Amino acid sequence: MEKKTVAEAIQYHEEHFTKRVLFQKGDSLVFVLNFMPGQQLPVHKHPGAEVYLLALKGKGSIQVNEVDYAFVEGDILHIAGDESFAYTNTSDQPASLHVVLSKTPAPMYAKEI
> Residue 112's pLDDT is what?
84
- Report helix, strand or coil for 55: strand
- From first to last of its 113 residues, the chain has per-residue pLDDT tens of 999 999 999 999 999 999 999 999 988 999 999 999 999 999 999 998 999 999 999 999 999 999 999 999 999 999 998 999 999 999 999 999 999 999 866 788 778 88
The structural domains of the chain, with segments of one domain joined by +, span: 6-103
Q: What's this model's pTM, rounded to 2 decimal places?
A: 0.91
> Residue 104's pLDDT is what?
67
- CATH (one of 2.60.120.10, 3.40.50.720, 3.40.50.970, 3.40.640.10) for 6-103: 2.60.120.10
> Residue 105's pLDDT is what?
65
